[in-house]
Amino acid sequence: MAVPERWHLYVVDLGRRVGTRPGKHRPCLAIQPPGPAARVRSTVIVPLTTRLAAGSAFPLRVRIPDGTCGLRTSDIMIDQILAWDNSRFGTDLGQLPEGLQLAVQDALIEFFDLAA
């Protein structure tokens, strides 16, 4: 497989669940920027879940509306960032819409306390 593209959703084989780490084949968002990091054989991702957080769980979760890239309503689990081997990536479900990309960027900035 080619290097996964940033802001695309993929079905990724996460293996079995361990502790709080999600498992099984599940949609994940590639967040790794292109460039030098593209030369490694893994990609930084955030997994999605259909177990929706009650109320606003920002910045730990970003809600994906029903029908986005063919998915049911889901939450992107910002607190579950992983670097995963590119060989475990399956179907490319499409690019996350720009407005949701910005919401994920905002959540990452807040989660990692990177605001200026």
Encode pLDDT of 20-34 as tens digits.
Answer: 556 689 999 999 988
Specify the pLDDT at position 37.
62
Mean of pLDDT values over 84-109:
96
Encode pLDDT of 31-59 as tens digits.
Answer: 998 876 667 889 999 999 999 998 878 89
Tell me the pLDDT of the chain averaged across its residues: 89
Amino acid (1-letter code) at residue 105: Q
pTM above threshold 0.85: yes
Specify the pLDDT at position 28.
97
Of the candidate CATH numbers 3.30.930.10, 1.10.3720.10, 2.30.30.110, 3.90.1150.10, the domain formed by 8-111 belongs to 2.30.30.110
CA distance 104 to 62: 7
| Domain locations in the chain as residue ranges | 8-111
Sign of the torsion formed by the C-alpha atoms of 72, 77, 80 and 83: positive
